[in-house]
Amino acid sequence: MTRIDAKFAELKAASKKAFVSYIMAGDPDYQRSLEIMKGLPEAGVDIIELGVPFTDPMADGPTIQLAGQRALAGGMTLEKTLQMAREFREDDDTTPIVLMGYYNPIYNRGVERFLTDAKDAGIDGLIVVDLPPEEDDELCIPASEAGLNFIRLATPTTDDKRLPKVLENTSGFVYYVSITGITGAAAAEAADVAPEVARIKAQTDLPVIVGFGIRTPETAQTIASVADGCVVGSAIVGEIAKGAPVSGVLDFVRGLAEGAHRA
């Protein structure tokens, strides 16, 4: 059982929905990024998604693209992202960490070395948005064998024919993308999301977490109420981009978490 599996078991026992937050590693700089990360669990975050900055983030909208550019300009790398996780783990051995990014940095490091290093750093799961199920032998299956959850995205365009393939080797949870398009592009609507979550849950026992288009505590509550929880990324990254102090960012996150936990 991974930390992700344990967290969902704990939430289910408490009849509570999950709140997942995304931050870009190294944004606005290494130290403040680490400080924000360390404060997320106390702010109510159940699972941390840690973005790995990449030069060509095709699934991300402008807010997260700019965060990645700031991080890269500050010298952030995959190695430094893993170092952030190591430093986080010095004080917190229970909050799950999911690395979210693209395959190129992993490929450059070498899959075997990356998986060993990620496991040693305390990473629990991976979301690699540009590796389809047809390439599961490349990373998904080796990651699962190494004890890491490989979390797959389902979208509004994932039809009933495609869905079983998407779910085949997925573990930890299913990330349902609530809108068609890039991150931060539109607002999520519970009325649209609910039947899609039900459709996915009819084919898997995994929790379904909804992301994209959630910016307020109210939306976090309504979306979490029709799923097993929700993810917020662009709205949090946007607060960081505004230059909000660490305490301000964490207060913003706390409001979102409270919204999700009211669901």
pLDDT in tens, 160-170: 999 999 999 99
User: Average pLDDT of 31-50?
Assistant: 98
Which residues belong to the active site? 49, 60
Domain residues for the domain of 41 are: 3-261
Residue with tokens 């994932």: 158
pLDDT value of position 237: 97
Q: What is the CATH number of the domain that holds 89?
A: 3.20.20.70
Query: Residue 169 belongs to what H/E stretch?
Result: none
Domains held by the chain: number:
1
Kindly state the percentage of the chain with pLDDT values over 70: 97
> What was the pLDDT predicted at 59?
81
- At residue 179, the pLDDT reads 77
Rounded to the nearest integer, the mean pLDDT of the chain is 95
pLDDT at residue 189, as a whole number? 82
Q: 58-100 pLDDT, tens per residue? A: 888 899 999 999 999 999 999 999 999 999 999 999 999 999 9
Binned at pLDDT 50, 70 and 90, residue 186 comes out as low
| Sheet containing 18-24, strands listed edge to edge, beginning at the edge strand earlier in sequence | 149-150, 125-128, 97-101, 47-51, 18-24, 229-232, 208-211, 174-177, 153-154
Q: Count of CB atoms within 10 A of residue 74's CB?
A: 15
How much is the pTM? 0.96
Which residue do the tokens 């929790």 mark?
Answer: 207
Residue 177 has pLDDT above 70, yes or no: yes
Band (pLDDT 50/70/90 cuts) for residue 230 is very high
